[in-house]
Chain A
Amino acid sequence: DGGITQSPKYLFRKEGQNVTLSCEQNLNHDAMYWYRQDPGQGLRLIYYSQIVNDFQKGDIAEGYSVSREKKESFPLTVTSAQKNPTAFYLCASSFGLAASSYEQYFGPGTRLTVT
């Protein structure tokens, strides 16, 4: 069954610690994305990757880092430099970047709480 998996579903960390969120897809998609969702707001793009070993900053990349060593995997690290890390994080993937041509499929999300 093809899809996107994100783990864990809930994650708790102490302030000042880095934390890595996992995103894996078996849809054979080239493009992958990370979004952040806060209550009462739409999704905002953190990073995206068009192809392996390449990624670009989105609108709110400060305090985050990513890697794309494998086509299937696009982990997101929330660093201690991120001022307000508590949020719901969603990973997505698509065959290509052109949104009008390629639907983005979303994972179930990881809810990160930092205290």
Chain B
Amino acid sequence: AQSVTQLDSHVSVSEGTPVLLRCNYSSSYSPSLFWYVQHPNKGLQLLLKYTSAATLVKGINGFEAEFKKSETSFHLTKPSAHMSDAAEYFCVVSEGYKLSFGAGTTVTVRA
């Protein structure tokens, strides 16, 4: 069975400082991993995905994530936070058709 643990329920950063969102996964097979972002009362948007190619994945809006099999982690980073990054972020693992979502990390950006 697959599952995802997001290690922080809430992260607060100052504008212009780095953002780190931590995610550990559990999967029986070689997983596909995703990060989605959700702005308040909106649907989800795909930030990036890992599907067994390069372990460092670049996504939209300056985000990137690194797949570390030995640590079963897929942490999301951004070098410099912007006010528009304030949202909820979900780490997701898939096997076949099924997506398993983490509980989410809420990011607050301080001016």
Residue positions of A touching B, CB distance < 8 A: 4, 9, 31, 40-45, 48, 88, 90, 92, 97-101, 103-104, 106-109, 111
Task: Verify B103–A42 contact, CB threshold 8 A.
Answer: yes
Task: Verify A97–B42 contact, CB threshold 8 A.
Answer: no
Task: Verify A108–B104 contact, CB threshold 8 A.
Answer: no
Task: Verify A90–B43 contact, CB threshold 8 A.
Answer: yes
Task: Verify B101–A42 contact, CB threshold 8 A.
Answer: yes
Residue positions of B touching A, CB distance < 8 A: 4, 9, 32, 34, 41-46, 49, 51, 90, 92, 94, 96-104
Min C-beta distance of A91 to chain B, whole Å: 8
Task: Verify B99–A103 contact, CB threshold 8 A.
Answer: no
Which of chain A's residues have a CB closer than 8 A to the CB of B90? 42-43
Separation of A73 and B98 alpha carbons in the complex (Å): 21
Min C-beta distance of A113 to chain B, whole Å: 13
> Which one of A40, A44, A90, A111 lies within 8 Å of B44 (CB-CB)?
A90
Task: Verify A42–B102 contact, CB threshold 8 A.
Answer: yes
Separation of A100 and B34 alpha carbons in the complex (Å): 9
Task: Verify B41–A100 contact, CB threshold 8 A.
Answer: no
Beta-carbon nearest neighbor of A38 in chain B: B103
Given A40-B104, A99-B94, A99-B98: A109 touches B43 (CB 8 Å cut-off):
yes
Separation of A35 and B61 alpha carbons in the complex (Å): 26
Given A90-B44, A99-B97: A41 touches B103 (CB 8 Å cut-off):
yes
- List, sorted by A's number, 7 A–B pairs whose CB atoms are closer than 8 Å: A4-B43, A31-B97, A42-B100, A42-B101, A42-B103, A88-B41, A99-B96
Task: Verify B42–A108 contact, CB threshold 8 A.
Answer: yes
Separation of A88 and B38 alpha carbons in the complex (Å): 12
